[in-house]
Each structure stands twice: as structure tokens, then as C-alpha cells.
Amino acid sequence: MNDPRIPMQEDPEWISLYSKRDAIHPRAVHGRFQQLRDVTVWATLGGYLLLPWLQWPDGDGGWRQAVLFDLPGRQFHIFGVTFWPQDFILLSWLLISLAFALFLVTVLAGRVYCGYVCPQTTWTRFFTWIEKITEGDRHARIRLDKSPWHRKKILRRGSKHILWWMLASLTGITFVGYFTPIGDLLLRAFTWELGQWEIIWIAFFTGATYVNAGWLREQVCIYMCPYARFQSVMFDRNTLIVSYDTERGEPRKRGRRKEEESGIGDCIDCELCVQVCPTGIDIREGLQYECIGCAACVDACDAVMKQVDLPVGLIRYTTENALQGRPTDWFRPRLLSYGAMLLIMVSVLGYALATRVPLGIDVMRDRGQLYRTASDGMIENSYQLVVMNRSQQTRDIRLSLQAADGLHWQHGEQQIQLPAGATRTLPITLAYDPYTDQVSTGPVWFILEDQHNVRYRLRRESRFIAPAH
């Protein structure tokens, strides 16, 4: 039986996990795919750094941080919507939707997520850019690695690490700024008034960014990221991946091919595709799990092909079937299944958000005693009602009761004005007169509704306990 998956190239030699790492210095390359990567990595890093500074109307005439995860207040503000812990199911649906989206993109176009928008790729690219500014191009960095320590090397390496640490620190502070108002956070940072946990988390993410993007780099993708390991299960012969056209490129011959030469492939063995690879692989050896699909080798090879007057596309995005002259099936069951599941989950999430009621009510019955007899002979049950305004504007709400005839509460229907994000606890006592009314144990419903929007209505059930007759 034919295996539909693409075979991965394995190194037959044993590789020690503790072998010394050879530093990879990718060569700078320009081309259409690298221009696209520049846009995506700038958008990723820029969005991450600028989003906490974006302000949003709070609904009561003021302004607040547009994206703020207020853990002490148990409120998660995302632009015009505020989520509470009770909305955790929405987060579950969102994560499931993102998972299916990742599966769909991987089956369709390989590891484009890794190559274009992955945080590790984004921060590593900026750290590499800093390294190029301070230490020079690829060959200059290799020579600097091999040279003994001297004043110039110390200055270059020192300035590189200072800039690395500054970007890592900005990353750590920004991350904490998603959980603490960033303006106040920076003010307290400059006045040395940060809290203990704020210091710990800033230090942790600063160190993690510095180590991952500055020192580990491709090792995160090769050894630590689980996505690199299970990608081969998701690839098939119709997946669009970066591939080397062996039929066209082999056999190789270094240098420009002469007109009288025959039987020679188009690959001139310049090895630029290896030099520009951020994970240090040779794409000509076939698909390898280290490949992140960044297409740097595509841009490098296309530039060389133009110089030697040969058609571009020796290395390109293509499918295994296309390389072997077979048609590519774009509408295969696996791809359609992931697309259908993604559509279903996005629809469910969208419906849940559209019908979400920005009010909340929790009913807690006093379990210390089933019922009590008041001094005037009334049979009473006690409750604690917690009403919440989960929106970003003040709301006028009405609290009412639906219960058996004869059962009433002390204060009757209540009109409550709740500010945005506010919570109020209300003690409620339900009672009846056993000498005039016959009330048995049964359900009661507390109804909370917005006085100005009939769509926003909640109904919570509890029980009234009466003595047995």
C-alpha cells in the first residue's frame, strides 16, 4: 500500500545530543519572499509592542487600555468586549479554532506559520539584524568568531549583547503590560516601585527572549518545538512545500554551464541556498523536519538563476506530486475535513459572541439551614445573589422573581444601576405565611434583565425549602 506521506530525510549517523553546536550565520538575502517576511515580522513585533498602548472608550466617557487582562479584577478587556471567568468556554472554542486553522494551513502549505509569523522566527530575525549591524555580514561574523579576543571584538560583541538585552527587556515589560496598565507599569519601573511578581515576570520573559532568540535560535525549532516533530504526520504529497527540483538540477556542476556541455543539471553548486538557511540545512537533500518554510533558499536560488541566464524555480514552493509530474489534488478529504471543522468552530464561536448576554447572576442558597421560622411565624429561606455587569458601560437592570403564589420577598422587584464591570452582592430573603398560604418545596427563578434591551435577560433557578406538611 502506498504511503501518502512525504518521506523525511534522516541522517544515518548518530548525532550526540551533547555535541558542540556550530554557530549558524545565515547570509542576508533579498527577494519577494523575504520582502513578504519583512512585512509579517514587522507586523508581528510591531503589533505586539504597540497593542498595549492602544486606548479604547470604556463606555462611561473615559478611556482604558484596549487589550488588558486584569487578573486581580477577573476581567479580560479585548477592545470593545469584556470577558469574565464565566466566559472560559469561549476561550476553549477560540483555541480549538486556532488549532484547526493551523492544521489546515499546514496540510495546505506546510510550515508557513513557522517561516513568517512564529514569535521565535520574528524575534530571531530581529536579533540577527542587530548582529549584522554590530558585527557585519556573514563572512565578517565567521571571521570574528575565529579571531582571538581583542578590543574591537569586545566592543562589537558588547554592543550586540547590550542591544539584544534592550530588545529582550522591552519584550518582557510589554508582556507584563498586557496584565498591568502599561503606562502605570513604566512609571513605576522608572521610579523603582514595581511589585515583586511584576519584577519576576519581567525578568523571566526578558531572560527567555534573550536566550531563545539570541543564543538558541534554530535549536528551539529543531529540538524544542513540538510542531517540527509532528509536521511530517500532517504533510502529504499534495502539500505545498519548499522543494528542490532534482530532475532539473542534477547532476550538479560548480560554475556557469558552458553551451557545449550536455547532461549537466542547472544547479551550479554555489551553496547559497545553504548559506541563507536559518536552520543550516541543505534543501537539495530533500524535505527535512528542520525546514521552517521561510523560502530564503528560493530567493537566493532565483537570484543565481537570473545571473546565469537560466529559468527561476529550481527551488520553489511546489508539491511532491507536481515534482513527479502528477496532478496536485487541492480538494482532498483531509484538507476539506479541516476546513469544515474550522468553519464549524468559527461559526459556533461567532454565534456565542453574537448572542452573549453582558450580564451575570449567581445564586447561592444558605445551606446552613433548610429553612427558618421568623419571630412573626413566617417561613424564610435566605439567598445571596451576585449580579454582574460584564459590559463596558453602565446598565440599568431589573431583578425580579418568579415563584409559587404566596411566596414573596422583603423588598420586591429591584431596580439596580451597575457601572461598567461592576459586581454587587444582594442578600435576598423569601418567605410565606404558613397560616394563610400553602407553599411547598419547589423551584424559584431569579430574573435579571436590562431595562433598555430586552435581549439581555438571564434566568437562574434555585429552590425554596418548606417544612413538610
The domain spanning residue 453 has which CATH number?
2.60.40.10
Written as nine digits, the cell of 195 is 511589585
Indicate the residue among 216, 248, 264 that finishes a domain.
216
Rounded to a whole number, what is the largest CA-CA distance in the chain?
A: 116
Q: Report pLDDT for 182.
A: 96
Is 291 contained in some domain? no
Q: Which domain holds residue 379?
A: 359-464
Q: Where are the alpha helices (DSSP H) in 235-332?
A: 246-249, 272-275, 296-307, 320-323
pLDDT at position 1, please? 46
Task: Please report which confidence band the pLDDT of residue 469 belongs to, taking 50, 70 and 90 as the band edges.
Answer: low
SS3 state of residue 373: strand
Residue 135 falls within a domain, yes or no? yes
Position 107 scores a pLDDT of 94
Q: What is the pTM of this model?
A: 0.84
pLDDT digits (tens, 9 = 90+) for 254-310: 888 777 677 899 999 999 999 999 999 999 999 888 999 999 999 999 999 999 999
285 neighbors 11 (Cβ within 8 angstroms): no
Residue 64's DSSP bridge partners are 56
pLDDT in tens, 14-37: 555 555 667 899 999 999 999 999
pLDDT band at residue 215 using 50, 70 and 90 as cut-offs? very high
The SS3 call for residue 315 is: strand
Residue 446: partners with Cβ closer than 8 Å, 6 or more residues away: 361, 363, 383, 385, 399, 400, 401, 428, 459, 460, 462
Residue 381 forms part of a structural domain: yes
Give 110-122 pLDDT, tens digit per residue. 999 999 999 999 9
End position of a domain, from candidates 190, 216, 242:
216
Domain annotation covers residue 351? no
As a whole number, mean pLDDT of residues 212-219 equals 94
CA distances (Å), 338 to each of 161, 280, 404, in order?
A: 43, 32, 51
Mean of the per-residue pLDDT values of the chain? 90
The answer to the question of residue 253 being in a domain is no
Note whether residue 186 is domain-resident.
yes
Other C-beta atoms closer than 10 Å to the C-beta of 136 total 15
Query: pLDDT at position 395, please?
Result: 92
Total domains in the fold of the chain: 2
Residue 336 lies in a domain: no
Domain limit, last residue, from 216, 242, 265: 216
- Which position has the grid cell 412573626? 376
In this prediction, residue 13 carries a pLDDT of 53
Please indicate, yes or no, if residue 163 is contained in any of the structural domains: yes
